Amino acid sequence: MIIILKHSATDAEIEILRRNAIAKSLVPQDISSDGARMIGLAGDLAGIDEDEFLRHDCVDKVVRVKEPYKLAGRRFHPADSVLDIAGRRVGGGNFVVIAGPCSVESEDQILSVARDVKLAGASFLRGGAFKPRTSPYAFTGLGLDGLDLLKIAREKTGLPIVTEIMSAEHLDRFAEDVDVIQIGARNMQNYTLLRQVGSLAKPVLLKRGLSSTIDELLLAAEHVMAGGATDIMLCERGIRTFETATRNTLDLSAVPVLQQKTHLPVIIDPSHATGYWHLVEPMSLAAVAAGADGLIIEVHNQPELALCDGAQSVTPQVFRRIMTRVGRVREAISIDN
Ligand code: PEP
Ligand code: MN
């Protein structure tokens, strides 16, 4: 539902309206644009009558909208969102690269990779402390010790950290210690977790589920935003298809399709999408050419010894080359900036 306000609406009147919406368990958000003052209301609108809002003096019109993703969709937020995360801008023409190992394995490993990716121009450091693994016998990460190591790497390099949350029991630690909370493909439809992470109002990297449609990804983002977060990066990381030559199939058309539907930045993960390090460079370049707002790339100082996803991890040397060539493709496709 959209509330279109009169030009004469005062801040005090709008505040009363907002409180009224919150009292009905709705989430009001300022979606004013081009001089028109508007408030979007998200939540369960089934039993809500437009007249209840029309009664407010400051309201000009109430429009009921069928759009399934009111907060994540472009309809009420036509301009690209530009996130500012620890001084790094993402979206609206601001391109970022998130890089680091699949898992944090030791202090030496994370520091070495963090320093290398920073030198090569990465904006964020990634690294899993809690790892979702298909086999219960595989390495599942260092847990909270891994978070501590990521903090050391952030302190030494200045790179903000991106890491995956697996359980609500760690919400407080993630709220305190992590710059961008990753929600992995396997948890994209864990709606309780989505809402709980959203309620921290921190930046989130939301990965597309293994077999999820673009609309399901956007609805998952809507859950996070309904929880209260605004700074969401959406991540296409490959989907399940009949093809077995690659780990997943990179759905590159998700970049322009998402950008048409949402104002949120779209990040491509060529590592999980392909499963092979030598495919990471061509798919990174293709993602940039397709207009992605960023990349998340797995980098390991000794991929052959990696405890997780070594086959798809590039060395720091290959990462440097990817960064150089990504820069060239960005230049080649830039029209007016
Ligand atoms: C990861 O980023 O290491 C990861 C587990 O990704 P995904 O959730 O996309 O499989
Ligand atoms: Mn991985």
155-212 pLDDT, tens digit per residue, is 999 999 999 999 999 999 999 999 999 999 999 999 999 999 999 999 999 999 999 9
Alpha-carbon distances of 71 from 77, 223, 251, rounded to whole Å: 8, 9, 24
Check residue 66 and give its pLDDT.
Answer: 76
Check residue 61 and give its pLDDT.
Answer: 93
Q: Which residues pair with 298 in a beta bridge?
A: 100
Residue 208 CB–ligand 1 contact under 6 Å = no
337 pLDDT above the threshold of 70: no
Alpha-carbon distances of 159 from 4, 95, 106, 293, rounded to whole Å: 42, 15, 17, 18
Q: How far apart are the first and last CA of the chain?
A: 36
Give the Cα separation of 239 and 323 in Å (integer). 25
Residue 18 CB–ligand 1 contact under 6 Å = no
Residue located nearest, by CA, to atom 3 of ligand 1: 102
Residue 207 CB–ligand 1 contact under 6 Å = yes
pTM recorded for the entire structure: 0.88
CA of 226 to the centre of ligand 1 (A): 24
Give the Cα separation of 336 and 251 in Å (integer). 27
Contact 61, 51 (CB under 8 A): no
Q: CB neighbours (10 Å) of residue 305? A: 10
Q: Which domains does the chain have, with CATH numbers?
A: 2-63 (3.30.70.1140), 83-336 (3.20.20.70)
Q: Mean of the pLDDT values across residues 238-248?
A: 98
**Amino acid present at 40:** G
64 pLDDT above the threshold of 90: no
Check residue 325 and give its pLDDT.
Answer: 98
Which of 104, 110, 142, 182 best tests ligand 1's pocket when mutated (most atoms within 8 Å of CB)? 182
Q: Which percentage of the chain shows pLDDT scores above 90?
A: 88
Q: What is the DSSP letter of 8?
A: T
Residue located nearest, by CA, to atom 10 of ligand 1: 185
Alpha-carbon distances of 248 from 149, 276, 296, rounded to whole Å: 30, 10, 16
Residue in this structure with the two tokens 């009905």, named with its chain if needed: 24
